[in-house]
Amino acid sequence: MKTAKLLVLLVAATALAAFFALDGGRLVSLQALRDSQATLAALDAAHPWGLRAAFVAVYVAVAALSLPGALMLTLAGGALFGLGWGLLLVSFASSIGATFAFLAARFVLRDAVQARFGARLADINQGVARDGALYLVSLRLIPVVPFFVINLAMGLTTMRTRTFYWASQLGMLAGTAVYVNAGTRLAELQTVHDIASPPLLGAFVLLGVFPWVARALMNHLQQRKVYARWKAVRPSTFDRNLVVIGGGAGGLVSAYIAAAVKAKVTLVEAHKMGGDCLNYGCVPSKALIKSATLAHQMRHAQRYGLHSIVRASEGGPTLFSFKAVMQRIHDVIAAIAPHDSVERYTSLGVEVVQGYAKIVNPWTVEIALNDGDTAPQGQPKVIRLTTRSIVIAAGARPFVPPLPGLDAVGYVTSDTLWDAFAKLDEVPPRLVVLGGGPIGCELAQSFARLGSAVTQVEMGPRIMAREDLDVSALAAHALRADGVDLLTDHKALRCEIVDGEKVLVAEHAGLERRIAFDQLLCAVGRTARLTGYGLEDLGIPTHTTVQTNDYLQTIYPNIYAAGDVAGPYQFTHTAAHQAWYAAVNALFGDFKKFKADYSVIPWATFIAPEVARVGLNEQDAQAHGIAYEVTKYGIDDLDRAIADSEAHGFVKVLTVPGKDKILGVTIVGTHAGDLLAEYVLAMKHGLGLNKILGTIHTYPTLAEANKYAAGAWKRAHQPHKLLEWVRKFHDWKRG
């Protein structure tokens, strides 16, 4: 393949060199064309089809090789063949030649360019996929941009060949017609500037801008069409600037931003303020992990030179009260709850209404209050608010698989276990966890450390499948070391009760396996809350999430979605991140709209050792065809980790080959989620590994792992030839 690419480059270079060596510029001048017009006309009279075929072949070759002369050939087409035939021949020849140039650039250069700058070109590729034809037509309509540059540049993108061809044919048609027509008046032309006059160029610029104006007009008409059936109910005035549905991270941040800029905003929450994160997810799970970690350290105190405490089941004293552990979790929730409370947000200027919200039209939200204030008929009191804009931040709920017998045996989810297990006197003796994702892994390890016999069932070949193989393997080893019976490639088939005992039946390698349990935890993922908010009646598209554009708008430009309900990520911090865009666009979008930026999204799984990541990992880079280089530093060599008896894990950094630009980082180790912040900052602000290496890190800290990873990259990129000369210099200095 390299030979073929070199051959294409050689042909192009030879043709270009020959053109200038043979003074090709003289042959394609206006005077040369005028001088040869009579000869060519005679040839056309004698061999019309032969001359036409030769003309097309020469034009295609000139355009394909990006040689000067296409303009003069266009004039020649008009002079020789007239407006009709000239326009036909030139239009097809120029488009075919341009397509050959496009394909040549793609064949020779695109893979190398995409491999080197793939991450940087991701937005361009997405734009080309979405609006490439419109963009190309606009460029073709503006002759200020050299066409050969457009041909070569487009070849480096992901634009489809047929799209390039028809957009080029269409876009060049107007300009081609002007120049072919000018060729029919060849004797009157003194210079090319007689054709490309300022008024004409100005007209072309306006013509080039027209597709964008047309697109804006189409968007306006589409909006009118979307809103048409609601035209009669559009309010002339509005009660609110913004109504936010959902009091989780996305909704709280949206409402806070609106209040901060003095907009009149109402936040509607049907259940608990703080949403899933405070009440069922991040906060309670981390409180559980802390208790489980301490219990684990007490049982392994010999690692720190202390006496270990044996489990009660092994003859030791009772280590803890499970009820006390669960009570502590609820105490932690209660301690954090004021941060997200009705009182706090009311003090910030947000009107908080507790009830069930339904969007009845694009500007009206109906709220069934759930505060006990009911109408005489016993139905919840309903209020209606009109609003300029709406943000849907309804969150997500645990997905419960349609497993036969599941309801009969009973189950808990990551939402319900906190109340259900708080009623237990002891930790569940036998716990089955369905799912090998982050939630399942965190809870499986925690309950195993608290004394449950945990069986974790994952249908896929490995847990934490979004991470690299080495990360997944290390996580699996850690869970098994804590006593989790980890069963991968096991598909849950059904649940049964046999002789009063609950059993999960799973399939592995064609055979059924029966797993007895006392409690079953479903942790196979979460699904967006998409029903009950009026989305169906409004016709807002939903699949697994509410469908939005880059600005987080639904098909109704004044209705936005943020957080888990919008995707693509289900993290508290990304919900808050999206909320900024949704709120600002909703309030100020008439002046300026901002595309949601997902370029630097960090996340962590809080097992022990923690797994944290930002940007690409190896399997993502390979899937997207992005070239990368790996630098890996083992935390087992870090002084602080050794002192803390936490010397396991690694820092893995992906960089652009030969450069210190960071593409992504994965950290496995204690406090990995905290250590990742330095890389998140670096990627956000375009700082490379050299900057991290040049930053002073306190000794001894875990954060030094980041510096040592940067140092490992630096050692791998030493300027060996320069250092050899430096060695010779020092030898010379010693005499």
Q: Kindly tell me the sign of the dihedral angle through the C-alpha atoms of 202, 208, 213, 218.
A: positive
CA distance linking residue 452 with residue 484, whole number of Å? 9
Find the radius of gyration of the CA atoms of the chain: 34
pLDDT tens digits along 49-76:
888 898 888 888 888 887 777 777 777 7
pTM (2 d.p.): 0.75
Compute CA 607 distance to the chain's CA centroid, rounded to the nearest angstrom: 25
pLDDT category, 425, cuts 50, 70, 90? very high
What pLDDT, on the 0 to 100 scale, is given for residue 370? 81
pLDDT > 70? residue 33: no
From 393, 353, 368, select the one nearest 586 (Cα to Cα).
Answer: 393
Average pLDDT of 366-375? Answer: 72
**Hey, do 406-525 and 609-720 end up sharing a CATH topology, with the first three levels equal?**
no
Average pLDDT of 711-718? Answer: 93
- Both tokens of 371, joined, read 């505060």
What pLDDT, on the 0 to 100 scale, is given for residue 200? 47
Strand (E) or helix (H) holding 615: strand 610-615
- Both tokens of 385, joined, read 């608010």
Q: Kindly tell me the sign of the dihedral angle through the C-alpha atoms of 280, 284, 476, 647.
A: positive
Percent of the chain at pLDDT above 90? 60
Compute CA 257 distance to the chain's CA centroid, rounded to the nearest angstrom: 24
pLDDT category, 155, cuts 50, 70, 90? confident
Compute CA 684 distance to the chain's CA centroid, rounded to the nearest angstrom: 14
Average pLDDT of 688-699? Answer: 96
CA distance linking residue 668 with residue 671, whole number of Å? 9
- Both tokens of 340, joined, read 């997200």
pLDDT > 70? residue 284: yes
Average pLDDT of 131-138? Answer: 74
- Both tokens of 195, joined, read 């054709």
pLDDT tens digits along 181-195:
777 765 555 565 555
- Both tokens of 366, joined, read 């109906």
pLDDT > 60? residue 639: yes
- For residue 499, CA distances in Å to 431, 496, 503 come to 18, 10, 10
Angle at 95 between CA 90 and CA 96, to 5 degrees: 100
Average pLDDT of 30-52? Answer: 76
Q: Where are the domains of the chain?
A: 2-213, 240-397+528-588, 406-525, 609-720
What pLDDT, on the 0 to 100 scale, is given for residue 190? 55
CATH class of 406-525: alpha beta
Please give the order of strands across the beta sheet that includes 485-487: 412-413, 519-522, 430-434, 453-457, 485-487
CA distance linking residue 642 with residue 637, whole number of Å? 7
From 281, 241, 269, 270, select the one nearest 257 (Cα to Cα).
Answer: 241
What pLDDT, on the 0 to 100 scale, is given for residue 54? 87
CB 562 within 8 A of CB 581: yes
What pLDDT, on the 0 to 100 scale, is given for residue 197? 54
CA distance linking residue 697 with residue 703, whole number of Å? 7
Can you state the percent helix, strand and coil of the chain, rounding each to 5?
A: 55, 15, 30
The residue with greater pLDDT, 401 or 36, is: 401
Average pLDDT of 504-533? Answer: 95
What pLDDT, on the 0 to 100 scale, is given for residue 444? 98
CATH topology of domain 240-397+528-588: FAD/NAD(P)-binding domain (3.50.50)
Cis ω before 719 (30° cut-off from 0): no
Number of C-alpha atoms within 13 angstroms, CB side, residue 280? 21
pLDDT > 80? residue 497: yes
In DSSP terms, which residues pair with 432 in a beta bridge? 455, 520
What pLDDT, on the 0 to 100 scale, is given for residue 64? 84
340-342-346-350 Cα dihedral, nearest 10 degrees: 70
- For the ranges 55-69, 450-464, 586-600, the one whose mean pLDDT is highest: 450-464
pLDDT tens digits along 304-343:
999 887 665 665 566 789 999 999 999 999 999 999 999 9
Cis ω before 657 (30° cut-off from 0): no
Q: What's the whole-number average pLDDT of the chain?
A: 87
Q: What is the DSSP string of 511-528?
A: EEEEEEESEEEE-S-EEE
pLDDT > 80? residue 264: yes
pLDDT > 70? residue 477: yes
**What is the CATH number that goes with domain 609-720?**
3.30.390.30
Percent of the chain at pLDDT above 70? 86
pLDDT category, 421, cuts 50, 70, 90? very high
What pLDDT, on the 0 to 100 scale, is given for residue 212? 56
What pLDDT, on the 0 to 100 scale, is given for residue 354? 93
Tell me the Ramachandran region of residue 141: left when phi exceeds 0, alpha when psi lies from -120 to 50, beta otherwise: alpha
Residues 6+ apart with CB under 8 A from 711: 633, 693
pLDDT tens digits along 186-233:
555 556 555 555 554 554 455 455 555 655 666 666 777 788 889 899
